Structure 1
Amino acid sequence: MGISYKKDRTFIAAGLTVVMTAGVLAACTSTTNQGTPAGKNGTENKTEANSGAPLEFSMMATLWVADPPKIDGEPMKIIQKATNTKLNINWVPSGTYNEKVNATIATGQLPDVMTVTQGYDKTPGFINSVRSGMFWEVGPYLKDYKNLSKYNKNVLTNVSVDGKIYGLPRALPLPRAKTFMYRKDWLDKLGLQKPKSLDDIYTVLKAFRDKDPDGNGKNDTLPIVEGQGIDLFYVALAAYGGPDLWEVRNGQLVPDFMTDENMQALKFMKKLYDEKLMNQDFATLQGNQKNETFYKGTAAAYGGIVSESANLKANTAKIPGADIDFVTRVSSTKGDRIFSNVGYDAMFVFPKSSVKTEEKLKKILDYFDKLADPEVLQLMSWGLEGVHFKMENGKPVTTDSAKFEIEINPLRALRATWDTIFRSNVEGLSEIRQKMTQSYLDNEPYVVSNPAYSLISETYVTKGAELDKMIKDARIKFIMGAIDENGWNSAVDQWKKTGGDKVIAELNAQHAKLKP
C-alpha cells in the first residue's frame, strides 16, 4: 500500500515531531498554507524537488541486512520522487565496507557520493585523501539549506579535518553508545531482575551459564557473545569511572588505556573469559559472525551499540518467545554515566573526480536536504501505512516491526538526519524502538564525551593504525591471559616509544590552543 502524502502532513502536524538533541540534526520544516514544505525563512528551496529532469547520481552505501532495498520498491520510489532524483546505489555489507572503500579509492573510480564510516574518517589514509584535495569542502554551503543549516555545531566539529567540513555527517543521538543486551525472556524465566551494576551483569551471566535458560536440559548456553571490538569492555570502563577514549586530568589529555579504571575494566573482562562467561573465540570473531551467533539463539547476551537491539529483536523473531532488552547505564562511583556517541555514524563525502562542478554538488546537497522534509522523514521513521504501521487515535503504531527492520531501516543509511520522537509520541514505535528512543532522551544528561575527538595528531595520522593495533592486541592478550599487568604496562611503554608520546604531546598542544 502506498503512502498518502496528504496523510503524511496531517500526521506530522498532529504529533510526529523531530527534535534536535545534542548531536542530532533538527529536521522540522515549516509548511505553507497548501502544505508544501517551505524553504529557509519561509521561501522555497532554490532547487524544487519535482521540477526539471531528475538528478541522476551514484552512491556507495552501507548495508546492515542481508538483502538491499529494491530500487523499484515503493519506499525507494517515494524517496526518488520526493527528491526528484534517480539513484544508482551500490549497497555494500557493513562487515566489509571499509575494505571496499579502500579498494574503491585505490582504483580512482569513485561514486558521486561515498559513505565513509565513523572512525574510518579519522584514519591516516582518509585524512591524507582529504588533505590531497580529493573531496569537496561542503561547510560553506550548509547555510544555504533549510535543514542542513541546522546541524549541531559539536557534531560538525567532530567531523572536521583541520577545522573544515568535508562531508555531511549521518547524524545520531549522542547517547547512542555501547550497551549490554540480553534475552529478556530468559532473564524472566530465571526470576532475575534487570541488571543495574557490573556485579548484577556478572550474576546474570553466571545464571545464563549454569541454569539452562533455554530449557533443553544441556549446559550449552553461551552467556554473552563478544567480538574483536570487546564492546562490553566499554560498558565496564564507564562503570568504573574511566574516560571515553581521552580525558582531561590535571589539565592534560590522557588516553583511557593509561588509567587505573582501564585496568579494572580489563580485569572484569578477564574474569568473564576465565570463567567461560563469554565466548573463547572472541578475538577472531568478526561482526557478522558475532551477530549470527546471537541470531541462532545459542547466546543469552550481546555487547554492542544500543541501536543493534532492534536488529537482534528482528532476527530472533522466529525463535519462540524470544524477547530482547538492554541496559545502557550501570551504576558508577562517579554517578550515572554513559559514553558519548560522537553524534554521527558515517559521513557522506563528494569526490571532485566524480562531482566535477559546484552546480552538481549543490544539487546533491539539495537531495540530502530534502531527505529531512516530512514526507521522507515519515517513511524512514515508520515505513508505509498499511504495511509497517497503522494510525490509531491520530498516532502511528508499528504493526510489523520485523518487516520494518528489513525493508525500511536500511534506508536510513541514505539520510543525513536522525528522527527523534517526542515522549508524547514514543508509544507509536515498536516496543524495542520505544525503549531505544526513550533511552536517547533519558541518557542525554549523563553523557561523557571525548574531548580529543576533533583534534588531529600528525604522528597519529601516519602511525595511528599501528598504535591502535598495539593497544587492541594488548587488551585481547590480557583478557586471554597471554600477558599479565606487567605485560600490559610493557605494551603501553612500547606504544609510547613507537610514537604514542608524540601523539599525547601533539593533542595536548592543540587542546591548549582551544582553551578560552
Structure 2
Amino acid sequence: MKDVNHSQQGGMQMPRSNARKQKVRSTAVLISVVSLLATTACTQSSAPADSGTPAPSGKPAASEPANSGPVTFKVLYDYNVDPQGLNLQENEYNKFIKEKTGVEIKLDSPGSAGYDDKLNVLMASGSYPDAFAQGKREIILKYAKDDLLTDLTPYINDTAKYPNIKKYMPADAWLPVTDGGKVWAFPYNRPDGLSQVVYINKDWLKNLNLQIPKTIDEFYTVMKAFTENDPDQNGKKDTFGLLASNTLGNGGRMFQAAFDAETYKIRDGQVLPPEISSEYKDYLKFLNKLVSEKIMDPEFPTFSGAIFQQKLKTLKYGAFSSFWHYPSGLEVPKDVMDHYVAVNLPLHKDGSASKFSYPNLNRHYIAIPKTTKNIDKFMKMLDWAVSPEGMKFSFLGVPGFNYKEDNGKIEVLKQLAPIHWSFSLVRSGQLTDDILKYIGVVYPKEAVDNLVMAKNIGQVDNLQASLPYYPDLANFNLGKIVDEFTIKSILGNTDIDKSWDDYVKRWRSAGGDQVIKFWTDWYNKEGKNTVKQ
C-alpha cells in the first residue's frame, strides 16, 4: 500500500517508498554491491580563491588557478553500516580518489539517530557543511526554497567540462530534486534500484504437476492449489499460496502491479494517486479474496521484515515477491531459496506485461550549500565518480589493493571496507554488462540473472518522481487513511464496495483535494513539458 507522500528515495530506494512499502535495499558484503552512501560535515579547507559558484551567465565560474593543489571537502553523511575501524580520512579509498581527481572527501556523521535534526541545526545556524547527503527529497527542496543550495543545472549542462554526468546519469534520476527548472542535488542512483522479482516454489509446481502461472487468474489457481492440495506432501493442510509482509511491499505488491494500481496517472485532467483509483479497489478485493480463502496468510499485518524472512524459512509458502539477491544466501539460507525460482509478474487483465513501479531509484542525494568554495572541483570529482572508472571503483575498490584483473577475470585481493563506496558519494545507476560483471564477483549467477529480470519488469514512475514539494502534505495524514483502509479491506473488516466511496471522500476532504489541485496546477504549468507519460 502506498502513502501519497512519496518523498524518497527509499527501497531498493529512493524519494522514500511509501509508508507501507518495504524499502528496497541490498546487503553490503565483501564488495558492497548495493551499499548505502556515507557522509561528512562542516566547512572546506585548502579552497582556492575562486569560489566556483555559477557565473552570472548561468555557466560555472572559471576553473581554479592552475597551481592549486588537492582540495578537501567535508561532507555530512548518514551512513548506516559499521566502518569497522576504518579511518574516514586516511585510507586507501580516499587516497585513490585524491590521485584521480585532486579531491579529498572527509566524511563526518552524527549517526543515523537525529541526523535530520543535526543537519537542520547546521543549516539554520549558517555552519554549513561543504556538501551533505540527504535521502528525503522534501528536505532538499525545502532548503532550495530557502535559498540555501547551489543550482547544479549549469554544471550538468556543461558537457565540455563535465562530460560524464549527462552521458551516464539517467534523466529520470534528477526529477525528484528538480524544481522550477533547476536541479538542487546530485543523486546516488542505484544500478539495482529496480530490485524486485516474483518467486514461486518450483518443487510444489512439480509435485502438483502445475505450470508456471502467467495471468492473475492462473496465479490464483496455482496459489489455491498450493494451499489446499498438500504441495509439500506431508499429509497436513499447513501451507499457504502467498506470503506477504506487513507493508505488502513483499508479496502483495506483485498483485498491485498486476492490477496497475501502483502508478500516478493523469485522469480527467487531474494528477491522481493510485490509492483512490478503481484499480486499487480491484487490487484490495483480490487480496481480500486470498485472505478469506486462507490462500494468503491472514496474520500478514504482523510480518515485519525479520518475521517475513522467518516465515519464508519454514517453506510453507508457495509464492512471494522480494529482492533479486535472495538466492545469494546472505539474508535467506540458500537451501531455502533453492526451492524457489524467479518468474515474471502476473500479466495485466488485458494481457499486457505488468511492471513493478518505483518512485525513483535514488538511495540519497548530495546537495551543495551556496557558500561552498570551489564547487567546480567538487563537481569534477562527481563527474569522475559516475564515469566507468569511477563506477568500477565504487564496486570493486582500488586496483592492486582490493582486486586485480587479468584478461577480464577479476580476482579479489582484499575484502572491501563496508563503507568504501561512500567516498565517491554518488553512482550513475547504469546497469551495464560491466556493472553486472562487478556484481557477479560477490553474487551468484542466479542472483545476477534475477537482477536482469528485475530491471526488465521494473519502471520508474516519472510522474510521481517529478511531483513538486508541497509543505502541507505531511500535515494531512493521508497515508494513515490509506493504510487503515487497506488493512481493514484485505482482512474483511469492511465491505470494500460499500465503503469505497466514503473512503475516497475522507481522503479528499482530509487534504487530498488540495494536494490534487497543487499537483495538477504544477502539471499544467510546467510538468507536462518534462514528464513522460
SS at match of 1:497: helix
Partner secondary structure for residue 103 of structure 1: helix
The answer to whether the Cα contact below 8 Å between 2:200 and 2:318 also exists between their aligned partners in 1 is yes
Aligned match of 1:364:
378
* 1:240 counterpart = 2:259: yes
Question: Which whole-Å deviations, capped at 9, do the CAs of 1:213-265 have from their partners, x for residues lacking one?
Answer: 778887666641413254444432332244x4321234433321232211111
| SS in structure 2 of the partner of residue 235 of structure 1 | helix
What is the match of residue 349 of structure 2? Answer: 333
Shift of 1:365: 2.8
The answer for the alignment partner of 1:145 in structure 2 is: 162
Distance 2:303 2:380 in 1: 40
Give the equivalent residue in structure 1 for 2:432: 421
Deviation of the 1:266 alpha carbon: 0.8
Where do residues 30-429 of structure 1 align in structure 2 (5 Å cutoff)? 52-53=69-70, 55-63=72-80, 67-68=82-83, 71=86, 78=96, 82-83=100-101, 84-88=103-107, 90=109, 100-108=114-122, 112-117=130-135, 120-122=136-138, 127-142=141-156, 143=158, 144-150=161-167, 151-172=169-190, 176=194, 178-182=196-200, 192-206=210-224, 209=227, 223-242=242-261, 244-287=262-305, 290-291=308-309, 294=312, 301-304=319-322, 308-311=323-326, 313-316=328-331, 318-320=333-335, 322-323=337-338, 325-334=341-350, 335-350=352-367, 352=369, 356-359=371-374, 361-381=375-395, 394-396=407-409, 414-422=425-433, 429=440
The structural deviation recorded for 1:495 is 1.1
Measured in 2, the distance between the counterparts of 1:215 and 1:379 equals 49
Structure 2 counterpart SS, 1:415? coil
Change (3 A) 1:384 1:193: farther
Contact 1:174 1:340 in 2 (8 A): no
Deviation at 1:296, TM superposition (A): 7.7
Superposed CA deviations along residues 16-56 of structure 1, whole A, max 9, x for unmatched, are xxxxxxxxxxxxxxxxxxxxxxxxxxxxx9689xx944625
Provide the alpha-carbon RMSD of the alignment.
4.6
* 8 Å CA contact retained: 1:171, 1:417: yes
Q: For residues 401 and 236 of structure 2, what CA distance do their matches in structure 1 show?
A: 40
**CA contact 1:295–1:312 (8 Å) conserved in 2:** no
Deviation at 1:174, TM superposition (A): 10
1:115-174: CA deviation from partner (whole Å, max 9, x where unpaired): 333xx314xx55434322343332222234222233333332343134321111222469
Residue 382 of structure 1, CA deviation: 5.3
Asked whether the equivalents of residues 114 and 349 of structure 1 are also in contact (C-alpha less than 8 Å), the reply is: yes
Match of 1:513 among 511, 516, 525: 525
Per-residue Cα deviation, 1:308-352 (whole angstroms, up to 9, x for no partner): 321563325644363354345321134113144344323323363
Q: Label 1:481 to 1:102 Cα distance change in 2 as closer, same or farther (>3 A).
A: farther
Letter in 2 for 1:181: Y
Contact residue 192 and residue 431 of structure 2 kept, 8 A: no
Query: How many residue pairs are counted as aligned between the two chains?
Result: 446
Q: Is the 8 A contact 1:398 1:428 kept in 2?
A: no
CA distance in 2, matches of 1:205, 1:381: 39
Structure 1 residue 494: Cα displacement = 0.9
The aligned residue for residue 17 of structure 2 is none
User: How many Å apart are 1:176 and its aligned residue?
Assistant: 1.7
2: distance between equivalents of 1:68 and 1:297?
35
Structure 1 residue identity aligned to 2:366 = V
> What SS does the corresponding residue of 1:418 show, helix, strand or coil?
coil
Tell me: CA distance 1:440–1:149, structure 2 relative to 1, closer, same or farther (3 Å). Answer: same
Shift of 1:267: 1.4
Which amino acid is the alignment partner of residue 152 of structure 2?
V
| Distance change in 2, residues 1:169/1:311 (3 Å) | farther
Higher percent of residues as helix:
1
Q: Alignment partner of 1:315: what SS?
A: coil
How far apart, CA to CA, are the structure 1 residues paired with 2:472 and 2:411? 45
Long gaps (5+) in structure 2: 1-61
What is the distance in 2 between the residues matched to 1:390 and 1:275?
Answer: 55
Residues 175 and 338 in structure 1, CA contact (< 8 A), matched pair in contact too: no
Alignment partners' CA distance in 1, 2:432 and 2:364: 23
- Could you say if the C-alpha distance between residues 453 and 372 of structure 1 is closer, same or farther in structure 2, counting changes exceeding 3 Å? closer
Instruction: Check whether the contact 2:327–2:334 (CA below 8 A) recurs between aligned residues.
Output: no
In the alignment, is the contact (CA less than 8 A) between 1:241 and 1:333 conserved in 2? no
- The alignment partner of 1:336 has SS state of coil
| Aligned CA distance change for structure 1 residues 198 and 416 (closer, same or farther; 3 Å) | same
Distance 2:194 2:269 in 1: 28
Contact 1:241/1:332, CA 8 A, preserved across alignment: yes
Q: 2:449 aligns with which of 424, 435, 440?
A: 435
For residue 366 of structure 1, what is the amino acid of its counterpart? K
**Does the CA-based 8 Å contact 1:173-1:440 persist in structure 2?**
no
Give the TM-score of the pair, scaled to structure 1.
0.69
Change in 2 beyond 3 A, CA 1:52/1:187: farther
Task: Find 2:488's aligned residue among 477, 481, 500.
Answer: 477
Give how far 1:473 is off: 2.1
Deviations 1:404-444 (A, max 9, x none): 9x958976994231232249986993323432443366457
The residue type paired with residue 362 of structure 2 is D
Contact 2:191 2:430 in 1 (8 A): no
Contact preservation (8 Å) 1:82, 1:375: no
Determine the C-alpha separation between the residues in 1 that align with 2:502 and 2:287.
20
Identity of aligned residues (%): 22
TM-score normalised per structure 2: 0.67
The farther-off stretch of 465-474 and 260-269 is 465-474
Q: CA offsets per residue over residues 41-92 of structure 1, 9 Å max, x none?
A: xxxx9689xx9446252342454xx655763686676556545424425496
Any unmatched runs of 5+ in structure 1? Answer: 1-44
For residue 189 of structure 1, report the CA deviation from its aligned partner. 6.5
The answer on whether the counterparts of 2:150 and 2:368 sit within 8 Å (CA) in structure 1 is: yes
- Structure 2 vs 1, CA of residues 448 and 356 (structure 1 numbering), >3 Å: closer, same or farther? closer
